[in-house]
Every structure is written in C-alpha cells, then in structure tokens.
Structure 1
C-alpha cells in the first residue's frame, strides 16, 4: 500500500517514514481493498511533552477512516493509530459480512 506522508513545520527523516510505511502496511492483512492512505505529522508549539500529532486517513471503497493521536513521539502515535484503524477496519468488515 502506498502511504503519502506529509510533515508540517519540520522535515521527517527517512527512518521515520519507513517506520510509518511498515506500520501502515500491516493494515493490508486485515483489509485488502484499501485505496489509499495519507499520514500527516505535525509538531505543535506548546511546552507540553506530548506535542507530536499523528493523523492518518485511510480510504476504502465507500468509506474512509480518520485517526488523530497526540503523543510524545511519532513512533508511539503510529502504533496507537494503526491499532485504532485496525479495530475500525475489523468492525467495518464484520458489518459488511452481516449485511450480505
């Protein structure tokens, strides 16, 4: 799956982008009809330690899932967001099975 990664107010290094790509690829296991995914990485200008915002949008036929997480690191945000997307995708697949 192709993941479009955009970083706002900073430049993301290759290691971080590869990490996010690897985590998002796990979603293909649960649902093979994913059209595209966009990831936005933002750093908020606050004194709070949890100033990194990880936002992911995954498009599937007829729907899209959006998850926004604020954490201490982008890696932590990616893990939590992918787990949340995983739950949403499983729920959608279950709904599709029961209606057909």
Structure 2
C-alpha cells in the first residue's frame, strides 16, 4: 500500500514515518483492496497536553474512509486511528461479501 505522510507546519522524523508505514501495512490483512492512504499530522495551538492530531484517510475502490484522533503523542494517535480503521475495513469487507 502506498502511504503518503504530510505534516502541517513542521517536519516529521523518519522514525515516525517508518512507524506509520509499518502500522498501516498491517491494515491490508483486514481488507486487501486498499489503493493508498494519506496521513496528516497537525499540532493544535492550545496549551493542553493532548495537542497532537493524526488524521488517516484511506482510499478503497468506490469509497474513502477518514479517521481523526487527538492524543499526547503522534504514535498514540496513529495507533488509535489504525484501530478504528481496522473496524471500518472489516465492516467494508463484510458488506462487500454480503453483496457478492
């Protein structure tokens, strides 16, 4: 799966990009028809501890799924997004199976 990582107003280190790539590749076992995914990292400008936002957009044939989470670290936000995305992809796979 092709993973595009975008950071808004800052640079992402390679370690985080590698983590994102590895985590999102695991999603292919839930639904293997994923075309590509975009990951957006943003910093919220408030003084709260949970100011890091990760947004994952996954494109599958005929549909697009978007999940957004805000946490203390980008890794934690990516993990929560990926967990939510797993559930969405499993539902999609069951829906496709029911139709065919």
Could you tell me the TM-score, scaled by structure 2's length? 0.97
Distance in 2, Cα, partners of 1:63 & 1:17: 25
Counterparts in 2 of 1:32-71, with a 5 A limit?
32-71=32-71
Distance in 2, Cα, partners of 1:34 & 1:97: 16
| Pairwise CA distance, 1:64 | 0.6
Partner SS, residue 26 of structure 1: helix
| Pairwise CA distance, 1:36 | 0.7
Point out where structure 2 has 5 or more consecutive residues left out of the alignment: none
| Pairwise CA distance, 1:44 | 1.0
Hey, which bits of structure 1, 4+ residues long, moved more than 2 A? none
| C-alpha RMSD of the superposition | 0.7
Point out where structure 1 has 5 or more consecutive residues left out of the alignment: none
> Counterpart of 2:82?
82
Distance in 2, Cα, partners of 1:95 & 1:31: 11
Distance in 2, Cα, partners of 1:28 & 1:73: 24
Could you tell me the TM-score, scaled by structure 1's length? 0.97
Distance in 2, Cα, partners of 1:64 & 1:41: 18
Q: State how many pairs are aligned.
A: 100
